[in-house]
């Protein structure tokens, strides 16, 4: 058993890491969705064009705009999920198959 603190820490770390890896893709996806509302179809940018324009205009930081609120959501959520999973696994006497 990992224990309460380690489960919480592992969940928080895994949630943070997955967010850091996937967040740029979410940023591009959101921008593409927004352009569908405001830009004619013939003038819309595809994903690669979106990334190029974003990097040119805003730099790498533009890919991570909005990251702090996302981390404030993800860290407690995934940390709690890991902790509850480990707690219930222990309470239900479920053994890991290793």
Q: Output the CA–CA distances (angstroms, integers) from residue 92 to 3, 22, 98, in the order listed.
A: 15, 33, 18
* Angle at the Cα of 39 from the Cα atoms of 38 and 43, rounded to 5 degrees: 170
Per residue in 24-64, pLDDT (tens digit) is 999 999 999 999 899 999 999 999 999 999 999 999 999 99
Radius of gyration of the chain (CA): 19
pTM score of the predicted model: 0.80
Q: What is the mean pLDDT of residues 11-21?
A: 96
pLDDT at 10: 92
pLDDT at residue 98, as a whole number = 63
Helix (H) or strand (E) holding 26: helix 4-38
For residue 54, the number of C-alpha atoms closer than 13 Å in the C-beta half-sphere is 22
Give the residue-averaged pLDDT of 60-72.
96
Per-residue pLDDT of 76-93, as tens digits, reads 999 999 999 989 988 998
């Amino acid at each position: 058993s990992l224990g309460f603190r380690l489960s919480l820490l592992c969940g928080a770390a895994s949630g943070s890491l997955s967010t850091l890896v996937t967040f740029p893709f979410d940023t591009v996806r959101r921008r593409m969705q927004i352009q569908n509302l405001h830009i004619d179809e013939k003038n819309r940018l595809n994903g690669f064009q979106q990334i190029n324009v974003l990097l040119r205009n805003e730099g790498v930081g533009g890919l991570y705009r909005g990251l702090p609120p996302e981390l404030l959501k993800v860290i407690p959520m995934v940390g709690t999920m890991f902790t509850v999973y480990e707690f219930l696994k222990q309470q239900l006497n479920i053994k890991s198959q290793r």
